[in-house]
Structure formats: structure tokens, C-alpha cells
Chains A and B, each alone.
Chain A
Amino acid sequence: MFLIACPHCGPRSQAEFVYERAEEAVAYPDATPEATLTALYSRANPRDFAWELWRHAYGCRGWIRMRRHRTTHEIAEIEALGATL
């Protein structure tokens, strides 16, 4: 497990958080069918850093955007997403 520095709550155990999806997986309502297909079914799935969306589901319930290393779990960048509380 690892610590996630929630932009609202500070460092908290990863057990409180839920991985929502890779940022590249976000499908937009006005996107072309090709772009939607790519968002739904195509991933870079790298062994190193990727942008991801998480939620502090068992905490402040805020949405978070982070750049996380998928082998070491190091979080290089993290920020709040959407309206702040």
C-alpha cells in the first residue's frame, strides 16, 4: 500500500481511495465515435508514469487527478479535480 496526499485531507492511506480510471479513459459526450472507442477500449498501460483519476471514497469523497508510477507507486503530481469543497 502507499500514501496518497489528498489535496483536501493531506496524506492518507491508499485503503481510503478508489481508483476510478486512467485519465485517457475519460469519454466525452461530444467526442467522435473513434475518440470514444479509443477512450473506452484502448490503453497505453505503461510500466511507468500515467495520469489517473482517483476518488477519496472513504474520506472527503473528492475527485483527484494524479500522475502515478505503475511499478513503484510513486506519485509525482497530484491535484484536486472539479469544484473544491
Chain B
Amino acid sequence: MHAFAAIWAIGIATMKGGLRDRLIQSLLLAGFFFLFSTMVFSSFSMRQPMEVAINYSLATVQILAVLITLFLGLNLLSREIESRAGHGVLTQPLSRSAYVLGKFFGLMLLCCIVVAFLALCAVIGVLLVRAGTPNAPLILWENFGLSLMGILLISLLLGAASLLFCAVATSAILPFLATIAIWVIGNSTQTVKNYLDANIADQAMTPQLKAIITGAYYVFPNLSLLDFKVYAIYGLPLAAAQVGFALTYGLAYTIVLLTLATRLFQTRDML
């Protein structure tokens, strides 16, 4: 089988499997209700209901997109490898790298569908709030779209990390927990680095600890770079160079993780 055809076939099968997953369906339904609750949530704001509405809807999309990616990684990849359900596919004349890339392609399609669905709910929620807000500030939809793009990239990066851990782990829960750890660390490295740079913690931290934190800052993905929510919430100007750098960083990191996952899966003992 041609490699691209194999990747396509595995990707479509993974996507269909994901859409059939009851857990994913219930999370999407929860997202639907959350986003329509935007009106209630923003109504408690004293001065900035529009900003609160955008903040709430984008944060909901981000949290749900990440949760869905984590569960997709658990249900569609880890469990399949652990239960050896995927071994049948691997007996076909296709390379292991095509299998990994196919799985990622499927995950990518699912993430796109999930983010697009949640984004639609978010836009409707925000428009409903705008309709009920006199003198509503101008919404920068291009920043809103870029925030969604950032959320999609975060999901893809975590999906690739999940695949990498699946390639080496022997239990299904380990990649799930390791990906959660990457999510938490990825959101914290910039904060901790800023804290270090501000020299607030000079007295409390040993040089070794500082070196570890600085190392972690460069090794782990910096998910704060892909977070454009604040620009959408307050309609702040966003430099094209900053967007270009962040998107390239996210894509490059995802490709690195995917390459490592492919290499490690090739050397994995499947018996």
C-alpha cells in the first residue's frame, strides 16, 4: 500500500472512531451548553460584559479542546496499543511510521472538527451577548480567529506528545498522565521563568534549582506562546512577526514530537 494512502485510510478510520466515542460526544455536548451559558456568565460583569464573554468562551473552547485531545489520546491510541487491537493493521504491508502518522492525521482531523464546532458555539455565544450589550466595544474577529488557531495548535502539540508517550509506554494510563503533565508544565514554564528573571526568588532558590528550571523552560513546550486569548479579549494589536514566530514554534515542536514518536515506535517490541 502506498504510504500516503495508508496514512489517509488510518487517519479517516481514527477520525470515525473518535466521532463515535461516547465520552467525546458528551464533552462536545457539555461544550455546547457551556458556550450558551456565556450570556449568564457575562451578565455579572460590572464594566466589561463583552470582554468577559470573549474570555469565557475562548477559555471554555481551550479547556474542552485539550480535554478532548487527552481523552482521544487515551481511547484511540493508548488503549488500542495496549489491547493489541492495532496489531491487525500492523500486519498489513505498511510501515510503522505510516501507522503513527496515520493516527496523528486522524487526531488532527478530529481536533479540527472539535475546535470548529466549539468555535461556532463560541461565536454564537459572543454574538448573543453583543446583541444584548448597549455600546458594545468592537470585537477583533481576526484576533479571535488567531486565538482559536493557537488552541488548535496546542491540541495538536499535546496529541503528538500523547503519541510519543504511547510509542514507549506499556500501560494505557501512563501516556494520558504524562500528557497532562506536559500540559501543566507547558503552561507554567513562562510564568516561572518570568518569576526567576524578576529576581524575586533569588534568596529562596539554589543555583541548581535555577538551572533545572531554565533547562525545563527550553526543553518543554512553551504553551503560553500559543495563547492569544488576551489579544482577542481586549482587542489589542497583534504583531504579524509574533504570530508567525508562535505558529512556527508550535508546528516545529509538533513535528519534533511526531518524528521522535515515529522513530521510537519503529524500535518498539510489539510482542
Q: Report whether chain A binds chain B.
A: no
Chain A residues near B (Cβ < 8 Å): none
Give the interface of B toward A (CB within 8 A): none
